Amino acid sequence: MKKILFFILLIIIGLICFFSNSFELILLPISAVALIFIIIAGLIQVFRKVNFRYFKFPLLIIVICVFGMVVSIFRPYENAVITSGNVSEKLEYAYKTDQQDRKQLKSFIPYLSKLEQRDSKRLKLTKDLYNDGLIKKPSDKFYAAFIYHHSDNTKDYKLASILSAEAAESAILKDDYQAQWLKKAAYDRYMVSIGKPEKYNTQNSFSLEVE
């Protein structure tokens, strides 16, 4: 009966990880805590006998978590960009996939990640819209700035800083936390890229924001 419940739980976790974006990132700290518990129990075992059941439960947790994370690797990426829709819809979609990609475990695994190629597609779309003078709304500037922010050169960082500042200073986004954060982060990234000190200390300090 216990084995059946275990396999049912494996299937449930596997399905959640396959269909739910970023759930595997929740499993990472859970498995880490379980591993730390096993290590501590193992150290205690050196000095006195510890009941095996103290190892069994965290081991099962690790197995379930690892299984879920492996399954998540097979979850396909959504299209990086869309070709239909208006400017706002295209930029909002690109921004959402930009964020979703950075919440997938496989995006940070060499040979499995397609993050660089997908960033290039989003950047090309954004540059085309910008060069055509179509990025005018504050929200569009915010989305575009985030995509420029994930480029790899000073020129794009400068545009990210300009667009994010314009978005953050608009009436509609002046109280938006993420818009205000991006204004600072984009400026700092641009300054660091030209060899100057950052102003808001967003590049060298730990941040909970998705970059």
Dump pLDDT digits (tens) for 66-114: 999 999 999 999 999 999 999 999 999 999 999 999 999 999 999 899 9
Taking residues 111-132, report their average pLDDT. 96
Tokens of 122: 């989003």
In tens, the pLDDT along 176-186 reads 999 999 999 99
Fold classification of 87-193 (topology level): 1.25.40
Distances 172 to 52, 94, 179, 188 between C-alpha atoms, Å: 59, 21, 10, 23
- Nearest Cα to Cα of residue 165 among 150, 193, 145, 151: 145
Question: N- to C-terminal Cα distance for the chain?
Answer: 45
In tens, the pLDDT along 49-62 reads 766 666 788 899 99
